[in-house]
Chain A
Amino acid sequence: MRVRFFSVSGSSAADLSLPDDIVLLHGEELDERGESACGCAPKDARVMLSFGVEDMSLTVGGETKPSDLAVELLSGYDWRKVFLEATTLGFAELFCAANALLASGATTVNIIYVEPGEYTRVSKGADQFALSEPTRGYVAIPNAIVDLSSEEVEAGVFFLGFEPERLDRALEEYQMITSKDVKLVFGIPAYHPGWELDAIIPHLPALEQHKLQLDYCSANDPEAAFECLERTRDALGTDRRMFVAPIGPKPCGIASAIFASVYPEQVGLLFDHPRRKQKRSTGVDLWHRFTVTVDRGDDAAPTATAG
């Protein structure tokens, strides 16, 4: 299997060379960049997705089913035309959609992501960010479920962002994690110089307290994140699994969604489903179009290749 990432970036949707017959799968438009991102497709070409945390259901347009049946829910959409709008989609929806498309035979997944001008802080000049509402916590996502109490899960990767409580809560509620080979990944370089400190500093207490390894990958490069995950997967023993907790930058979430989709036997997801706050960011910065191709045609060693 070969997974390749191609990316195009620009200052507006026009720079991404989007086709006219696009079908945009999107989430809630919570802020300016979300509205802009959804605005790249005409209203009648937009389809809203949402994951029901309480019952692990997926709603596509007006239709709701167990998310195990995501393939059925998305069967009416031609994967060649579908674009996943990752700015507004939550991670669970992003994974369900990408996984369903790939399971239905898609060889390409197109994704749009728009960086914010600025993330919203709790108050002016504060260290903390106001990105998420309190949530129910870690809930499994069908098709990528993992049993952390099992010894077969021997490694894990956390992609970290600005909210240290999300890692803290995982380590508190799933204390068996500390006996595994766990890697914390920070997005470096960050979207903007200096933002990496906003991610690292609040996580320092957890780093001091637990024996965890550190790694880095560019915050807005899914390919780098994918390679980072591959490094952990390469080190897995026979019949062993790993988990990925994408609780950081969305491009790392994109990589995680693709990674869990292409290696379902080895990879599970750990995710806490934050309810993202209204106005969680301001402004619009770089636009990205990521095209991921998955070639299952040969038995070559899985690799991620830059486009």
Chain B
Amino acid sequence: MQINASMLARTRAEEHDADVWGEFFIPPYFDRLALTTATKSAYITGKRGCGKTMLLKYFDYHTAFSKRRKDIPADAIDHIGIYWRVDTQFCSSLKHRGIEDTEWSVVFESYFGLVIATELLRAVEAIANSSFPNFNSDDLAALTLPSAADYLDDAPTGVRQLVQYLESIRRKFTTWVSNVKAMDCPVLPPGRDFILSLVGDLRAKASLATLSVFVYVDEIENLVPYQRHVLNSFLKHSQRPLIINFTSKEHPSNNDTSGPESINATHDYRLVDLDYYLELSGAAMPFFAEVFLGNLDIAAGRFDSELLDVVCSHARLAERQKPQYQREVVADMRTRFPDVTDKQIAANALQVQTLKESLYRRISKALKDRRSNLAVEDFLFEGAPAEALVTLPALLNRETLLPDNVLAELKKFSKNRKGSFESTWIHNNLFGAILELYRPFARECPLYSGFDTLCTMSNNNLRNFLILCYKTLEVAELRDQIEPPYAVDIQCRAAYDASEQLIKEIRTFGRFGEQLRVFVLRLGSIFRALQASPAMSEPEQNQFTINSGGRPLQGDELAFIAEALRHGVLVEQLETKSKSGVGQDIVDYQLNPIYAPYFQISYRRKRKLEISVEQFHMLIMGNENEYRDLARGLARQLSDTDALQLGLLLS
């Protein structure tokens, strides 16, 4: 199959043009959004990589009135979407500089008016040039907008001329913002009223009588407070024909308006949490499969494929919700990205000389450490099940278990599949034991394979899922095994590469980026060290909870957690069982499972590490020595040699 690899590198909506008609895959929760028929504002939240920007581009007028869209219904103008991604460094410059916030507030309102009015007129041009039935280029040429001159002297009345006029004002405005002390501010239109007047002019035309403007302001959380307040006021007073919506990576935090009121989710806006909607749909797996397969078709130039038609057509959403269809699409992916059972991985591992020797050596060492008279050979009898053998180093290192008993249990299990191995030992320890077995051979542990695993590691995040898949294709090409199914070792290497790339990306996550990256490296290393402890009494730790300490969490620590959650570095989870058994833990934080392959730790949500406030502080803000002391203390069962190898001790 010939594919255009650069097409597949586009895992970000920003790499796509403003018009994404035919490239947007309708998500399973689409009907639930009901944005085009809304009568009040929406506050749309979604983590990075959830498909938020692509969704907003789909609702934006460039796509809704795309030249590529063949049949545009007459009611399409009931929702003219304007997606406005603000330039936060520009907006931040509308502050200080010897000018009071109250003055800046007026300026910002006008800036908003200028930007949205220009976009609205461009939208009208796009409508005229599209297949929209009741408004063509002649209508556009005949259209007059007399209201603009009420606000701006000499404003022309024609749409095209007015666009140019407003663009010219915007240029003057930007120049003034750059040089506020050296020149006078140009005359600017008022914000909301100006837009509403233009809408009024447009609605005077019969075919545009129901026109409504829906503005989607992205990155709302990064605006300075007074700008939030201005936009919150606009949101509070939103109704057709002008509705202001917000989009953000996080849930609303600043609800003040520029007046005495505040906004709230019951009266003023509808909270649309895209991550939650996807989870609720229960269709994340088939949807992820469709997006990958659809992108493969696009990259191969099969633009008229049946799959693309199904996935890009709103009208066909119901077809995709049928269980039979979903089973097929998931089965296709499972064939392409096969997995291996844990039991089979154990059996395969014992066929590899280096792994086998490593396992025997560790069993032997455990027996010696326990001063047992048994020898490793005693455990290697004919028919000893591999999935049990692999767990032996951990079991034999546990003080609570006598080696003779473990051997007896092994024999029992081997004979009739009964006993402790059957009831708990394999279930609790095999996954961790495999990770530990492969750890010295970094990067290619077969546990990180299979479509279902890719979905779990992606943690409902579409971008992370696609990166895992595309990395697999890359590795497959490098190894000259282009055609699916992709071998498990290829998938595992790709998972490591994807994980490594995404850890590097953390640096770019806002002002705490580098701190977050260091935190992930520290936390992951601690989990790896805990897993490497010989007895592995707490296998698969990849969560932590802060449930002790001499003081509550402080402002900077809470801000750090908020930032880690906002960027999806940590995943907040309802509490899992705590060791103390007392339900005093507030919340568990899981290290995003996409980072698991890099540290060779478990991506499954299993056990947590309980730490104190002070230890957490050390983890996020301590220097290297303090961190190493902390890590060494937490992983105290490790030998110095292992601690050295895992970077917890300095050589």
Contacts and interface: CB of A to CB of B under 8 A. Distances in A.
Interface of A: 55-57, 65-69, 103, 134-140, 142-150, 152, 165, 168-169, 171-176, 178-179, 205, 208-211, 239, 241, 264-265, 268, 270
A56 B97 contact: yes
A139 B93 CA distance: 8
7 contacts: A69-B98, A145-B178, A147-B87, A165-B507, A175-B14, A176-B87, A179-B17
Nearest to A208: B9
Contact of A239 (B14, B115, B171): B171
B505 A140 contact: no
Interface string B87-98: 111101100111
B508 interface: yes
Given A140-B89, A140-B92, A209-B9, A165 B98 contact: no
A178 B15 contact: yes
Contact of A165 (B9, B14, B89, B514): B514
A270 B170 CA distance: 19
A172 B567 CA distance: 12
A264 B171 contact: no
B122 to A, nearest CB: 9
A142 B174 CA distance: 11
B14 A169 contact: no
Interface in B162-193: 167-168, 170-171, 174-175, 177-182
- For chain A, what secondary structure do more than half of its interface residues adopt (helix, strand, loop), or is it mixed? loop
Contact of A152 (B15, B97, B171): B171
- B-side interface size class: 35 or more
A178 B14 contact: yes
A127 to B, nearest CB: 12
Contact of A142 (B12, B180, B509, B514): B180
B593 to A, nearest CB: 22
Contacts of A210: 15
A173 B9 contact: no
A148 B507 contact: no
Interface string B553-582: 000000000000000000000000000000
A292 to B, nearest CB: 21
A89 to B, nearest CB: 21
Q: Which of B17, B87, B513 has the most CB of A within 10 A?
A: B87
A56 B96 contact: yes
Contacts of B179: 68, 142-143, 264
B456 interface: no
A173 B513 CA distance: 12
Contacts of B92: 139-140
Given A134-B513, A149-B85, A241-B174, 7 more contacts: A67-B97, A68-B182, A137-B89, A142-B179, A152-B170, A152-B171, A268-B178
A106 to B, nearest CB: 16
Which of A65, A138, A175, A176 is most buried by chain B, counting CB atoms within 10 A of its CB? A175
A215 to B, nearest CB: 21
B254 to A, nearest CB: 18
Contacts of A171: 508
B511 interface: yes
A176 B85 contact: yes
Interface of B: 9, 12, 14-15, 17-18, 53, 84-90, 92-93, 96-98, 115, 167-168, 170-171, 174-175, 177-182, 501, 504-505, 507-515
A168 B505 contact: yes
A205 B178 contact: no
B456 to A, nearest CB: 25
Contacts of B178: 142-146, 264, 268
A174 B171 contact: no
Contacts of A165: 507-508, 513-514
A68 B180 contact: yes
A277 B211 CA distance: 55
Contact of A146 (B84, B90, B170, B180): B90
A146 B96 CA distance: 17
A64 B196 CA distance: 43
B14 A168 contact: no
A173 B88 contact: yes
A148 B87 contact: yes
Given A150-B174, A209-B9, A55 B514 contact: no
Contacts of B98: 65-66, 68-69
Contact of B508 (A57, A172, A241): A172
B501 to A, nearest CB: 7
B372 to A, nearest CB: 43
Given A143-B179, A169-B513, A176-B14, A149 B115 contact: yes
A260 B63 CA distance: 36
Contacts of A208: 9
Nearest to A171: B508
A136 B92 CA distance: 12
Nearest to A268: B178
A56 B84 CA distance: 25
Nearest to B176: A145
B90 A136 contact: no
Contact of A145 (B93, B510, B511): B93
A261 to B, nearest CB: 12
Given A56-B96, A66-B98, A152-B170, A140 B90 contact: yes
